Chains A and B, each alone.
Chain A
């Protein structure tokens, strides 16, 4: 079983979310939002199972978010989320008699929960804003604490906005059944992250955002629940991003495009492109399709099979997430506005395939995921 630590990520996302999209201006409305969703992975093919259970992860998530202006120059936001996780996860890989890669899974008895809390406070000035965010995420065997800061500055009559942000997080890992399975009893890791972004209004119906990101992780970056997983103790990640929004008056439709190029010191490279189209056939209804393409190369120490003959200090991992693969995801979103309350829902399907990876001539990893996500929510502005 491996744990979810994304509180730092979530915290700093929340810091960004609390800020107005265009310009460092104070929000004028209070927002209350709740959402519930179910994430369900497809079962592993039984013919590729070496050991364990084929039933993979299911996560039920409840989210709560509130934000409000405070006085003339401040705003605050709080986000709480709870996840209930169950199912089996990959422990490693082995070679079958016919030479194919099989997956060693855990039992399906994993049953855990995570609670996350993020609090953000923003101070507004004439042409700028400054935010501070604190976050915590806790599970039985994973605790993460983080702090983040974001500065935004408007230029050219709020046609251009520069955003600078940084974050720091500490994570504590205490794997369950460490003595029973010979896992590490306690490890730590620390992450520092920086981001610079520029948002530019292009016309009354178009806006562009570009950004550069840098993240440094140090400490225990391996998966303590895998049978043999040894990763470097440092990782440096870089991103270049671009987002474009365009409104089509004649179709009453908004077009959303997002692109990210990622590369890191594990030799992983990836490209992500997503697009969505939200149309408004009536003033109270909006709906449209979403599509996302993702492709990555494999890490320099990725191996299709766990190799126990190698020294335990030599980096290796058979984690499918470090292999060369790609994925398409597609779905639909809809919203219905009833007075001050908005009801929303979405369906999404994600299918990964080694043939979409950035590296050529790679062998298929049988643990690549396919999953569905269904969500329902409502938002109240007052």
Chain B
């Protein structure tokens, strides 16, 4: 079901979005607009939540397990 919803969402977005030319991407290139704005912060927070919650993954391929306290 989730796969179907995701595919529908993708089709909806691709169908409804406008082509963004390279010279229109100044705001998209801002640091806070990146999917990962701060590599160190992302790694740190991901490790904390990986250690303290039963869920993990979702950003690229998450491999290893955790036996964290």
B44→A9 contact, CB < 8 A:
no
Q: Is A316 an interface residue (CB 8 A)?
A: no
Q: Which residues of B contact A165 (CB under 8 A)?
A: 60-61
Which of B9, B36, B43, B45 has a CB less than 8 Å from the CB of A79? Answer: B43
B57→A215 contact, CB < 8 A:
yes
A 168-223 contacts with B by CB, 8 A:
168-169, 171, 173, 189, 191-195, 197-205, 207-213, 215, 217, 221, 223
B67→A278 contact, CB < 8 A:
no
Stretch at the interface among A46-54, A242-250, A304-312: A242-250
Given that A213-B61, A344-B38, A375-B41 are contacting pairs, would A207 and B33 also be in contact in the complex, using a CB cutoff of 8 Å?
yes
Given that A261-B2, A286-B32, A377-B40 are contacting pairs, would A8 and B60 also be in contact in the complex, using a CB cutoff of 8 Å?
no
B28→A296 contact, CB < 8 A:
no
A200→B64 contact, CB < 8 A:
no
B56→A9 contact, CB < 8 A:
yes
Q: Which residue of B lies closest to A218 (CB)?
A: B65
- Report the interface size class on chain A: 35 or more
B36→A195 contact, CB < 8 A:
no
- Report the interface size class on chain B: 35 or more
Question: In the complex, which of the residues B17, B61, B69 has the most CB atoms of chain A within 10 Å of its own CB atom?
Answer: B61
B54→A209 contact, CB < 8 A:
no
Which of B6, B14, B41, B67 has a CB less than 8 Å from the CB of A160? Answer: B14
Q: Which residues of B contact A85 (CB under 8 A)?
A: 69
Q: Which residues of A contact B64 (CB under 8 A)?
A: 5-9, 11, 137, 144, 146, 169, 171, 191
Which of B30, B62, B65 has a CB less than 8 Å from the CB of A213? Answer: B62
A 1-40 contacts with B by CB, 8 A:
1-17, 21-22, 33-35, 37, 39
Smallest distance from the beta carbon of A278 to chain B beta carbons, Å? Answer: 4
A193→B28 contact, CB < 8 A:
no
Q: Which residues of A contact B41 (CB under 8 A)?
A: 35, 346, 375, 377
A191→B67 contact, CB < 8 A:
no
- Interface flags for B50-61 (1: CB within 8 Å of A; 0: not) read 111111111111
A194→B54 contact, CB < 8 A:
no
Q: Which residues of B contact A254 (CB under 8 A)?
A: 30, 32-33
Q: Which residues of B contact A215 (CB under 8 A)?
A: 56-57, 61-63
B27→A150 contact, CB < 8 A:
no
A375→B63 contact, CB < 8 A:
no
Which of B10, B20, B55, B69 has a CB less than 8 Å from the CB of A296? Answer: B55
Smallest distance from the beta carbon of B49 to chain A beta carbons, Å? Answer: 8
Question: In the complex, which of the residues A6, A14, A270, A344 has the most CB atoms of chain B within 10 Å of its own CB atom?
Answer: A6
Q: Which residues of B contact A299 (CB under 8 A)?
A: 54
Q: Which residues of A contact B40 (CB under 8 A)?
A: 33-35, 63, 65, 79, 377
Q: Which residue of B lies closest to A187 (CB)?
A: B67
B59→A240 contact, CB < 8 A:
no
Q: Is A293 an interface residue (CB 8 A)?
A: no
Docked CA distance A217–B66 (Å):
11
Question: In the complex, which of the residues A14, A201, A268 has the most CB atoms of chain B within 10 Å of its own CB atom?
Answer: A201
Smallest distance from the beta carbon of A293 to chain B beta carbons, Å? Answer: 12
B43→A10 contact, CB < 8 A:
yes
- Interface flags for B7-35 (1: CB within 8 Å of A; 0: not) read 00110011011111110110111101111
Smallest distance from the beta carbon of B50 to chain A beta carbons, Å? Answer: 5
A266→B54 contact, CB < 8 A:
yes
Q: Which residues of B contact A157 (CB under 8 A)?
A: 19, 21-22
Q: Which residues of A contact B25 (CB under 8 A)?
A: 22, 201, 204
Docked CA distance A169–B57 (Å):
14
Which 10 A-B pairs have CB atoms at the shortest separation, nearest pair first? A8-B64, A8-B63, A16-B60, A167-B63, A21-B34, A254-B32, A193-B61, A89-B69, A17-B39, A262-B55
